[in-house]
Structure 1
Amino acid sequence: MLNEQHLHDLYDACCRTNTLWKNFDIEGFKQFDIQTNVTGQFNRAITKHIRLGQLAEQFIFHHIESIDDYHLIAENIQVKENQRTLGELDAIVNAKNRLVHLEMVYKFYVYDPSQGATEISRWIGPNRKDSLTEKLTKLKNKQFPLLYHEATQKLIRALGIDVSALEQQVLFKAQLFKPYRQNISFEQLNPECLKGFYIQKEQLKAFDNHVFYIPKKYDWLLDPHDNVKWLTLTDFQNAVDIYLSEQQSPLFWVKSPEDKFQKGFLVWW
């Protein structure tokens, strides 16, 4: 399991990750207003291996609990009808005396200019298995409407809350990666989410004399640092072959001879 310092570093990185948009609503979704700086240690017990998205949820739950004037009323509310699971509400939060149904998202997206005609449509998962458009559609058509199902309303009333008093908001955090050596413009999304680039294997020759590291999935949250075992370009190329053969795009850190760190995805496509 993760040691205490490692867990806190991940917690801090998650909370500091910027929201994907901030100054106006996207597709009708309003971002939840929460500070990015953290105070105190993360002290929730993580007793088993969970997915990165679930870990990010735990970090955000704890972060909400640590802020004055914010109260986490309920989390991971399972909605069932006749023994059939309909879905789950991420959280009900009292934020400065405003009741919020909150859905949380933490994503890694790469920019593919061939995907559609809009800024939103061009952000996809590094393995080409998901996209920002698909996630927004799921929120709009499934996750937000679940609040108004009769089975959900019974659960909310049991908390002493009138569903009509709830605002629906998202906390949508993301790290974005652009094509290598290409500039892109941001009109709707937050440029502060840009964390690196993506590249194909044949482009790696531009990184001669650099060293590389392939972080574990949890450490995708982190900025690159020097306290790792670096690989030469040749060793890195050999190490990534298994990922690429399985149509997986590994995230990597790279360090230049001048000790400049960068972060990127090596895409299989």
Structure 2
Amino acid sequence: MNNNFARFKAFYKTASLWSGSLLGLQQFPLKEFDFSYLNEEEALELPAIPQGTVLGKRAEYFFKFCIEKCQNYDLVLSNAQIFNKKVTIGELDYIVQETTTGQLVHIELVYKFYIYNPDFQSSEKDDRLIELSKYRGPNGRDNLIRKINHLKNHQLPLLYHTETEALLNSHSISIENIKQQVCFLAHVFIPHKFWNFKFKYINKACIVGYYFNISAFAKAETQNTYYLPEKFAWKMSPYPTALEHTFQEVLESATQSLERGFAPLVWMQLETGKFERFFIVK
């Protein structure tokens, strides 16, 4: 498999955070796309993504690329900004059309890294919300419930705003013919002792690693080889990068990174050659 195809595959194999419907949000899984005609050995020209593009925006480039490369959906609109006078009030991520049925689908894309904190205390009353509130961003500035609420209360309703009507009319799109879904992709990291825990509501295929707080990591020294992947590579299966690190180097780097407010992702290569990946958090 060539490297470009490996990067592409790393994206479209990303698991949806849940299957079917959750809290009224219907999932659009990447496995909906038909790439059966592609040859993994042939050259594949990936979208040109500007240097420094954040992970969420990189995912948007790859999702659009998926639509353009698949056999069963056509792209109608992407990243369509909606204006009230001259002020942007939001953006429709994608409207696609299924080629055989003609069904139009408005899709909002989400691409997240979460840690599962079993000790997080939520003020929610609903058991589902209490459990789902335990999924937090590694840096502590993001959480699953907030994102779900934003999708339900802002992003999806934007389709039905008066300001959106002119855009849809210009593409001969009738509101009555559109269904709405979310493509909510996630990589979840859990406490090591929860590896065999039966998680409610989420797709266990999203669980790709674990996490340490910095004090626990400081006590977990090994002679393994460590790598600190750049953010663009976080979605990839771990591989040896050009720069290797010792445990002490990672501990020092992680301490400095956390002081700046950023939890680092670490790839650790075992003596067997296998990799483990984990976040180091405060």
Instruction: State TM-score, norm by structure 1.
Output: 0.91
* 1:25 equivalent in alignment to 2:38: no
Larger deviation, residues 212-221 vs 6-15? 6-15
The Cα offsets for residues 154-196 of structure 1, whole Å up to 9 and x where unpaired, read as 1011111101211010111100000133343222110000000
Give the structure 2 partner of residue 129 of structure 1.
Answer: 141
2:233 and 2:252 map into 1 onto residues whose CA distance is: 21
Aligned-CA RMSD value: 1.8
2:169 and 2:45 map into 1 onto residues whose CA distance is: 31
* 1:191 equivalent in alignment to 2:204: yes
- The 8 Å contact of residues 16 and 203 in structure 2, kept in 1 or not, is answered as yes
- The 8 Å contact of residues 214 and 255 in structure 2, kept in 1 or not, is answered as no
Q: Which of the numbers 135, 138, 147 marks the counterpart of 2:150?
A: 138
Matches within 5 A, 1:104-123: 104-115=109-120, 116=122, 118-123=130-135
Distance 1:246 1:84, change over 3 A: same
Q: The residue matched to 1:224 in structure 2 has which SS?
A: coil
Q: Which of the numbers 213, 216, 220 marks the counterpart of 1:203?
A: 216
The Cα offsets for residues 37-86 of structure 1, whole Å up to 9 and x where unpaired, read as 85362432334532111111110111112111210111000000110110
Aligned-residue offset at 1:31: 1.0
2:181 and 2:140 map into 1 onto residues whose CA distance is: 27
- The 8 Å contact of residues 16 and 37 in structure 1, kept in 2 or not, is answered as no
The size of the alignment, in residue pairs, is 263
Residue 13 of structure 2 aligns with an amino acid whose one-letter code is R
Q: Which of the numbers 216, 229, 239 marks the counterpart of 1:225?
A: 239
Matches within 5 A, 1:155-170: 155-170=167-182
1:6 and 1:54 map into 2 onto residues whose CA distance is: 21
Give the structure 2 partner of residue 102 of structure 1.
Answer: 107
Q: Which runs of 5+ in 2 are unaligned?
A: none
Give the structure 2 partner of residue 171 of structure 1.
Answer: 183
Give the structure 2 partner of residue 253 of structure 1.
Answer: 267
Larger deviation, residues 113-122 vs 153-162? 113-122
Q: The residue matched to 1:221 in structure 2 has which SS?
A: coil
Aligned-residue offset at 1:109: 0.3
- The 8 Å contact of residues 28 and 181 in structure 2, kept in 1 or not, is answered as yes
Distance 1:175 1:42, change over 3 A: farther
Aligned-residue offset at 1:255: 1.3
1:229 and 1:34 map into 2 onto residues whose CA distance is: 32
* 1:240 equivalent in alignment to 2:254: yes
Give the structure 2 partner of residue 182 of structure 1.
Answer: 194
1:107 and 1:172 map into 2 onto residues whose CA distance is: 8
- The 8 Å contact of residues 198 and 266 in structure 1, kept in 2 or not, is answered as yes
Distance 1:262 1:33, change over 3 A: closer
* 1:93 equivalent in alignment to 2:93: no
2:210 and 2:235 map into 1 onto residues whose CA distance is: 15
Distance 1:48 1:214, change over 3 A: closer
Distance 1:83 1:220, change over 3 A: same
